[in-house]
Chain A
């Protein structure tokens, strides 16, 4: 069935370092790939997204890359700050009406 795998499940970095989270998806018809950040006890919020006709998108310290051939997309956070600490979920919108979420990555940024 449709699936999104996300790695790593936990990531710890030093403040100022970069963090990379990787996802792969199974449905080749997937065309939209959002990333959500969920702080402890709060709602998931969209931080960046990318569509299947684009290979890379950047918004300040956050960037997302997409490799459609490999069915792989990644989130890159540069110059990490303690407030970046949260759970990050990747997701893929399939050819139908479905959003499949990855299992999440818990990011710790140590000051």
Chain B
């Protein structure tokens, strides 16, 4: 089945220790998104890629970086996780940037000790 896959599903890291979350898709969509979702809140867009073009949200901290080496894969790097970065991280894809459904992965729950 075509889908959006995220690994790992659960990630525990220590304060300040870099961590990388991964996302892959078999939908061949042009756009890939990373969202941060804290408990009982709406997903908050961190950045997105349209093909290889990277678009950062103005309020995304510098601590968060992303890489998209090819159409299928996208990575979220958190350089120095703080306690406030503990959240669910959702990857999503869409065919276009506007007017189309976003398909979400199952998410990675990040715990920072």
Q: Which residues of A contact B (CB under 8 A)?
A: 31-32, 34, 36, 42-46, 49, 51, 87, 89, 93, 97-99, 101-104, 106
Task: Write the chain A residue with the least CB distance to B55.
Answer: A97
B112 interface residue (CB < 8 Å to A): no
Q: How far is the CA of A106 from the CA of B65 in the complex (A)?
A: 32
Residue from A36, A42, A44, A101 having most chain B Cβ neighbours under 10 A: A44
Q: Which secondary structure characterizes the binding site on chain A? A: strand
The 8 Å CB contact of A42, one of B40, B101, B102, B106, is B106
Q: How far is the CA of A31 from the CA of B100 in the complex (A)?
A: 11
Residues of A within 8 A of B18 (CB): none
In the complex, chain B residues 66-102 whose Cβ is within 8 Å of any chain A Cβ: 90, 97-102
Residues of A within 8 A of B55 (CB): 97
Residues of A within 8 A of B41 (CB): 103-104
Number of chain B residues whose Cβ lies closer than 8 Å to a Cβ of chain A: 20
- CB pair A97 B104 closer than 8 Å: no
With contacts A44-B90, A97-B50 known, is A31 near B102, CB below 8 A?
A: no
B45 interface residue (CB < 8 Å to A): yes
- CB pair A32 B98 closer than 8 Å: yes
Task: Write the chain B residue with the least CB distance to A101.
Answer: B42
Q: How far is the CA of A76 from the CA of B43 in the complex (A)?
A: 22
The 8 Å CB contact of A31, one of B40, B44, B45, B99, is B99
Residue from B50, B97, B102, B107 having most chain A Cβ neighbours under 10 A: B102
- CB pair B42 A89 closer than 8 Å: yes
- CB pair A43 B45 closer than 8 Å: no
Residues of B within 8 A of A103 (CB): 41-42
- CB pair B48 A34 closer than 8 Å: no
